[in-house]
Structure 1
Amino acid sequence: MGVNVPLTFPPCTACAKSSCPMPAHCGVPGVRWMRDSSRRFLRHLSKKHAKAKEFTPYTQRPVELFIKHNLLPDLHEAFWFEVDEALGGTKAPLTARMGFLKRHLPGMKLLEVWPKLSAALLALEAGIPRRTIEAHRDIELGARAREEIIGSLGAHFGVFIYDRDKTKLARSLTSFDAFICAYTAMLSDTGRCLRAPSGFPEESGWIEIPHIGEE
């Protein structure tokens, strides 16, 4: 089942060390990967961005930095979005709740999905106009844009959806996100999502990312 909520916590929250060497010197795999990734990213920034935010392994996870540093920069600006941190202001309560719920869902396979990212990548594959993606979360224009996206995804990927269901999914952003989560989970089950790159600390959490251009 695809869920739009973090399934893991930032590396510092699970640390059991009696003393903290601080992120700059920490040897925990997740923190070490974040440190190296941030250094590589900062080296490629222009001088005007030299004071970019440092990584915070007590609110962020490696996967959030991977998306921010390695994936979003390769997309057109129209597809960019703010990456929510697992224990940031808007996600923290949801992350904590999922941590509780996981203990009561034994045997259920849960897959973390980011609907904003999946929708953008699937739209690229289906040739959906950028203006439609830009508008799909807009309060006034969103419903029409979401209906266009759902129709295009159905036509391009062969997903059958009743017309009345298309309308229902388009009217509600929450329902639309749930549809994108479910479809991305199906892509994952059929091997059509990206694998974590070599050296990535997968135990820290990974998300399902549609592998566009692949059948």
Structure 2
Amino acid sequence: MNIPGHIYFELISLLASITLFFRKGIPLYLRLFAPYLLITLIVEIGAWRMDKEGKDASLLLFHFTVLEFVFYFYVFYNIIRTAAARKVIFSLLFIYPILSLINIYFIQVKAFPSTTYSLGCLLTVGICIYYFYELFHLPSSVNLLREPAFWLCTGLMFYYICSFPLFGLYSLLYSTSNIIMKNISTILMVMNALLYTLFTVAFLCGTRVRKLHYK
């Protein structure tokens, strides 16, 4: 069985996250990565098996992208310190899934929900940039090697900056030649591998989490 290569990176990341799940004193958002990555792995393998059997896994993946962004917004809510920004992110936890489901069932029916996916990409990248702005304006220096949120945001920002043009133009790219689609799949695999590698680094850093105080 030719299992997609990035799934192995997901598995390694899952195993690393499990080490935090049972540790005391670890923030809840970090501990929740274990069940989230388990769901991710199940969905990825399930979609891959469905594709091998000639079944359409689109609806499964469309719904998972909604869960994906909502989870990341929850993570951002816990690592951003400014009260006003946290309120905006908190509202996204409810507004984004509603908009996404409306788009999936009533607007881009039976098509990749590129509109709300692109919106999720832009919001994620924007929040990551804001996190870095906050981080580098702290009154005291931070050891980034011990800062899980830094590695999480680095991975997410890189991934969604790169995936935005690929998935945002999915409808156009899908109709291109098989060679181009194969190259795009390879690019996505590399992007996923890097994302989950940085997640793993974050979880290893999480063994000594520095507590941050909200303003």
Task: Tell me the TM-score normalized by structure 1.
Answer: 0.27
- More helix as a share of residues: 2
